[in-house]
Amino acid sequence: MTARATTAILLCALGGATAIAVTTSRADPPVTGEPATVYRTVVETRTVHARYQGHAVRWWAKRAIANRRLELQRRITLQRIQTRLRARWQPTVSYAIGLAARVFNIDENKMRQVAWCESTMRPWATNGRYKGLFQLGWSPYGLSPFDPVANALSTAQTVARDGGWRQWECG
């Protein structure tokens, strides 16, 4: 008599544990006077810790939480630095706008309005390729667009040459 055995293994990964169910079935060919089929089912469940790159799931969870905390600390530190920079740059921004307005004979209040509208008086503001106090798309005088004096002087020169604020949305 030959016996056939079939085994199926089901693996389900559930939150760090793997459940295993094993089912064994036996079917014998029918013989006269004997039962036609005999079935036996065994269900086994055990916890298996899954590993990825040599680390368990709990290690990865702790690492994710630590990374979130680190990112939050970095964001808070960046906000503190920006607050300090804002306080430090404000007098320079006022000076830059006043200087540019006097040098190129442009209305200082209008320059302040445009600077506020474009960057809220923040010389480090960016919007795509536009950078600086007046959101210039070019490097003023070959200097950094984040330099408020160069940015304001370049803007005032452009306004004086063009005769208006046509290049600025807020002008």
* pLDDT tens-digit readout, 51-99: 788 888 889 899 999 999 999 999 999 999 888 877 766 668 999 999 9
pLDDT of residue 136: 92
Q: Do 85 and 118 belong together in one domain?
A: yes
d(CA 54, CA 15): 17
Q: Do 157 and 92 belong together in one domain?
A: yes
Number of structural domains the chain divides into: 2
- Lowest pLDDT segment from 26-40, 68-82, 132-146: 26-40
Q: Do 35 and 73 belong together in one domain?
A: no
Q: Do 42 and 76 belong together in one domain?
A: no
| Residue range of the domain that includes 128 | 58-162
Q: Do 100 and 140 belong together in one domain?
A: yes
Q: Do 144 and 73 belong together in one domain?
A: yes
Q: Do 40 and 103 belong together in one domain?
A: no
Model confidence at 112, in pLDDT bands (50, 70, 90)?
very high
Query: Is the confidence at residue 119, as pLDDT, over 80?
Result: yes
Ramachandran bin of 51, using left for φ above 0, alpha for ψ from -120 to 50, beta for the remaining angles? beta
In a domain? residue 167: no
In a domain? residue 171: no
Q: Do 64 and 21 belong together in one domain?
A: no
In a domain? residue 99: yes
In a domain? residue 150: yes
In a domain? residue 112: yes
Q: Do 135 and 156 belong together in one domain?
A: yes
In a domain? residue 53: no
Q: Do 42 and 65 belong together in one domain?
A: no
- Give the pLDDT mean for 104-108: 95
> 99, exposed or middle or buried, with CB in 10 Å at 0-12, 13-18, 19+?
middle
Q: Do 43 and 91 belong together in one domain?
A: no
d(CA 67, CA 91): 37
